Amino acid sequence: MPADETSTAKPPLDRAHDLAAAGRPQDALAELRPEVDKPDADPQALSLAGRLLLDKGEPLRALPLLDRCVSTDPEALAARRALSHALAAVARTAGQSSPPAERMRLLAAAVSEVHALEGRRQEQLEDLKRDLLTALLDLQTEVNRTTRPTDPVRGGIARLLVQLAPANPTMRANLSPTLASSETKAGLSDFMPHMEPGALGRKLFVACFPKSGSTFLLSLLSTLSGLPHIPLCYTFGQNEQDLYLPYLQTYAGTDAVVQQHCRATEANVHLMQGFGITPVILVRNLFDTLVSLHDYYDAGLFIESFLRHWPGLSADDRRACIIDMVAPWYITFYASWWRVTVRNELRVTWLAYETLIERPEAALKDLCRFWGINADSAMIAQTVNAVTNAGDTRLNKGVAGRGASFFTEAEKERIRGLTRYHPNVDFSAIGL
């Protein structure tokens, strides 16, 4: 139908706006058709036509027009918002006729549009986010019912849910187990969607046995690099020193040295993957380690553990306590990092306490090569001398082989017996 006589002098886009405002969307679309068919169509015409089609319940026809508009004019915010709605609508209405992976791809594109809009049209985003969350949760329910836990679509949906609702504790808590079961690696966008990986600071991260010379290594790394020591766990003492997301986010762009007694839990590994952390795994002969920890507790530092009854134990019970209560943690620490290494889940390197103490310059040189630190032999030798002469590195007696004579043969067999619960792990690096 032609436009009203009084408006024939107006440009087609203005006439289309007038027709749309008058409740005549079909006439408005007819007015826009010649313009949107052009290869170099006006983005405003594409935006209006796409939004009119979306309002008419035709998201599939709206999608290419809105996509062309946003590609031509990334600042076309109304078109971006409509594009997100169209993507969600197409994914939701596709149903069984479209594979879950394709619907997830559409919803992922919609989430990307939400990120592009955030901070500029915040007041208009809440209904869009609710729409996308509903579509994602519906797809998640279907996928969980029809696929195996290893299906990567499950991990993709979980990460999209977290990106849309990062403060939702249920969605955040479900992310790591879902990524793990679907064998999907984490990315920075899972935790900081608005940060580019190139902006991440370097973390010289030491995941270590307690009583393995880690404070000495920390001093070496901090002195050589000039970087600050920043803990990335919530606290120390009795607490597991797992990575703490708020601190990772706060110091994401900061170069630092980090030393933590943390096992390779799924959550820790995913956080390291996301924030680009490549750790060194510092271990020690387990018998010697347990003797050193025994001495540490005897010196009064049992107050940092749950073993507040330590002073009242006999010598035999103290050894038994170390074997029964503490040794299993070390075994799990080693097994967890061993699995990460053989499965190539992270880029890691291993360092033995014995090498660190006997050949610190060689150990430091290997770590510089691993992390890409530019330090020559003279700098490394100077660092080792400075740290060694300064003292205060919390090194105990540092004598290799003490554990062999400290524990009885029966006690050593009990410690070795703990490895049977990890039958595919090679424990020879820690003397088992």
User: How far is 195 from 254, CA to CA, in rounded Å?
Assistant: 13
Q: Are residues 237 and 179 in the same domain?
A: no
Q: Are residues 133 and 241 in the same domain?
A: no
pLDDT (0 to 100) of residue 8: 57
The reply to whether 9 falls in a domain is: no
pLDDT (0 to 100) of residue 5: 47
Q: Are residues 157 and 305 in the same domain?
A: no
Determine phi and psi for 245, rounding to 5 degrees.
Answer: -55, -45
* Residues 90 and 142 sit within 8 Å (Cβ to Cβ): no
Q: Are residues 134 and 214 in the same domain?
A: no
* Residues 1 and 30 sit within 8 Å (Cβ to Cβ): yes
Q: Decide: residue 284, CB within 10 A, 0-12 exposed, 13-18 middle, 19+ buried.
A: buried
Q: Are residues 84 and 207 in the same domain?
A: no
The reply to whether 2 falls in a domain is: no
Write out the DSSP string of 362-378.
HHHHHHHHHHT----HH
Six-digit token string for 192: 């900081």
pLDDT (0 to 100) of residue 381: 96
Q: Are residues 143 and 270 in the same domain?
A: no
DSSP state of 429: G
Neighbour count for residue 134 (Cβ, 10 Å): 12
281's enclosing H/E stretch is strand 280-283
Q: Are residues 85 and 56 in the same domain?
A: yes
CATH number (domain holding residue 331): 3.40.50.300
Q: Are residues 138 and 248 in the same domain?
A: no
CATH number (domain holding residue 122): 1.25.40
Q: Are residues 168 and 270 in the same domain?
A: no
For 392, residues 6+ apart whose C-beta sits below 8 A from its C-beta are none
The reply to whether 194 falls in a domain is: no
The reply to whether 119 falls in a domain is: yes
* Residues 403 and 312 sit within 8 Å (Cβ to Cβ): no
Q: Are residues 259 and 309 in the same domain?
A: yes
The rounded Cα 74 to chain-centroid distance in angstroms is 29
User: How far is 421 from 189, CA to CA, in rounded Å?
Assistant: 36
pLDDT (0 to 100) of residue 238: 86
| Encoded amino acid at 208, one letter | C
User: How far is 154 from 147, CA to CA, in rounded Å?
Assistant: 9
User: How far is 18 from 4, CA to CA, in rounded Å?
Assistant: 10
Helix (H, G, I), strand (E, B) or coil at 196: coil
Of the candidates 184, 214, 235, which is a domain's last residue?
A: 184
Structural domain harbouring 225: 199-430
pLDDT (0 to 100) of residue 6: 44
Helix (H, G, I), strand (E, B) or coil at 243: strand
If you count them, how many residues does the chain have?
432
Six-digit token string for 59: 């998201």
CA neighbor of 257 nearest in space, from 288, 224, 209: 224
Tell me how many domains the chain contains. Answer: 2
User: How far is 384 from 377, CA to CA, in rounded Å?
Assistant: 11
The reply to whether 364 falls in a domain is: yes
DSSP state of 324: I
For 346, residues 6+ apart whose C-beta sits below 8 A from its C-beta are 269, 272, 273, 277, 278, 279, 340
The reply to whether 15 falls in a domain is: no
Bridge partners of residue 205, in order along the sequence: 258
The rounded Cα 253 to chain-centroid distance in angstroms is 15
| Encoded amino acid at 189, one letter | S
The reply to whether 24 falls in a domain is: no
Six-digit token string for 153: 């679509």
Q: Are residues 203 and 64 in the same domain?
A: no
Of the candidates 156, 184, 212, which is a domain's last residue?
A: 184
Q: Are residues 101 and 59 in the same domain?
A: yes
CA neighbor of 17 nearest in space, from 47, 58, 41: 47
* Model confidence, pTM: 0.83
The reply to whether 8 falls in a domain is: no
Average pLDDT of adjacent 10-residue blocks, the chain of 432 residues: 53 88 91 91 91 90 90 86 85 74 85 75 71 88 88 90 88 91 91 92 97 94 96 92 96 97 97 98 97 91 88 93 95 98 97 96 97 95 93 65 90 96 96 94
pLDDT (0 to 100) of residue 395: 66
